[in-house]
Amino acid sequence: MVTTFEVEEMLVPHAHATATMRAAVFHGVDDIRVEEVPKPHAGPGQAVIRVTMTTICGTDLHIARGEYPVKPGLIIGHEPVGVIEELGIGVTGYAVGERVIVGAITPCGQCNACLSGKLSQCGHGSGYEAIGGWRFGNTINGAQAEYLLVPSAQANLAKIPDGVTDEQVVLLTDIASTGIGGAESGGVRIGDAVAVFGQGPIGLCASLGAKLMGASIVIGVDGDDNRILFARKMGVDVVLDDRIVDVVDEIRKLTGGTGVDVAIEALGEQSTFENALRVLRPGGTLSSLGVYSGKLQVPYEAFAAGLGDHRIVTTLCPGGKERMRRLIEMVRRGKLDLRPLITHRFKLADINEAYKLFGSRADGVMKVAITP
């Protein structure tokens, strides 16, 4: 985790650039301004895309509120859909004008972490630097802008097929990839029972991922009326309101006393983490997607019920154009439709209103679409 301000210098727009663009720039806590900044240019191996749609992530809220530190002056956002504007030397197989998405995580594909299959732990070239693959709107300029500079473009530009719209793919860049990744990390098998704690956008995508992998029952858990409604609407088999029912008891009952094969935590709280452990069958897997703060307590009598064999796996949004390609195929073939999650639409100029609405959870908001 990046705990100090850090900006990767090579990717900062050149001071002498003359063309400009509009972008949402972080200036401090609760101070995001849409302003004119230099338009980026593509160096070797990079690309610039003209952003046609993006969205706001829960992580962006943490940044706006100062809970996750980024350097003032940074353009935020990490969920881009766009059109290729410029290709740096060395990027092949693409043409200016092609429509693409880029994942929130932008692995280089060429460091030790990437080459051993850990794309989200990308070390940006040489080794295992633990910088991590998340750079957009974190250590380099992000997607809430008119143009976006894409590092390691060869590994990250995923083409959008004809007939597929921006709204169909914008949520693939992060929440669908992360949520579905949580189901994949959990190793869901045909016939498994799965519980997903938290039915916000990522948790809901985890529920859909478990369904796509063949779970016999997906049990969603939340305590927010709107999210419960959405989970039911999107086809989660059973949705439990944790304000009303004893979730652990209820899940045990639903699984004939056995517990679930896979529990997915998508909220990041101590209580949901503990409940996720408590509802696991012996030998089950806890797939953890939530971002916890401080120390997390593992109730070992639950962890090791029957003395063990549980697995806990954590998943950060896996990126790369190949993963985006597979998800785009699901959309194109009609197997995954996340458009209902996009409840509100804003222009980039009005992004502060979008932040306000998204942060308030008012008016049934799930995800917002931002267009230029």
Stretch that binds a copy of itself, among 28-36, 78-86, 191-199, 344-352 (CB under 8 A): 191-199
CB 200 within 8 A of CB 267: yes
Count residues near a copy of itself (CB under 8 A).
92
The span from the CA of 111 to the CA of 296, in Å, is 31
* Cβ nearer to a copy of itself, comparing 2 with 357: 2
Q: Minimum Å distance from CB 356 to a copy of itself?
A: 26
The span from the CA of 123 to the CA of 141, in Å, is 18
Q: Show the site string, 342-361: x = touches a copy of itself by CB under 8 A, - = not.
A: --------------------
Per CB under 8 A, contacts with a copy of itself among 54-113 are: 89-90, 92-94, 107-113
Q: Residue 239 is which amino acid?
A: V
Stretch that binds a copy of itself, among 16-24, 190-198, 199-207, 344-352 (CB under 8 A): 190-198
Q: Minimum Å distance from CB 156 to a copy of itself?
A: 8
Stretch that binds a copy of itself, among 30-38, 140-148, 287-295, 361-369 (CB under 8 A): 287-295
CB 319 within 8 A of CB 103: yes
**Residue 31 burial (CB count, 10 A):** 12
Q: Minimum Å distance from CB 67 to a copy of itself?
A: 14
Which of 267, 274, 313 lies closest to 120, judged by CA? 313
Which of 67, 7, 17 lies closest to 41, judged by CA? 17
Among 329, 337, 350, 353, binds a copy of itself (CB under 8 A): 329
Q: Show the site string, 130-169: x = touches a copy of itself by CB under 8 A, - = not.
A: xxx-x-----------------x-xx--------------
Per CB under 8 A, contacts with a copy of itself among 296-325 are: 296-301, 303-316, 320-323, 325
**Torsion 143-148-151-156 (CA) sign:** positive
* Cβ nearer to a copy of itself, comparing 180 with 370: 180
Name the burial class of residue 241, with classes exposed (0-12), middle (13-18) and buried (19+) by CB atoms within 10 angstroms of its CB: middle
**Residue 237 burial (CB count, 10 A):** 18
Interaction of residue 364 with a copy of itself, rule CB under 8 A? no
The span from the CA of 29 to the CA of 25, in Å, is 12
Among 164, 229, 232, 292, binds a copy of itself (CB under 8 A): 292
Across the chain, which distance is largest between two alpha carbons, in Å? 67
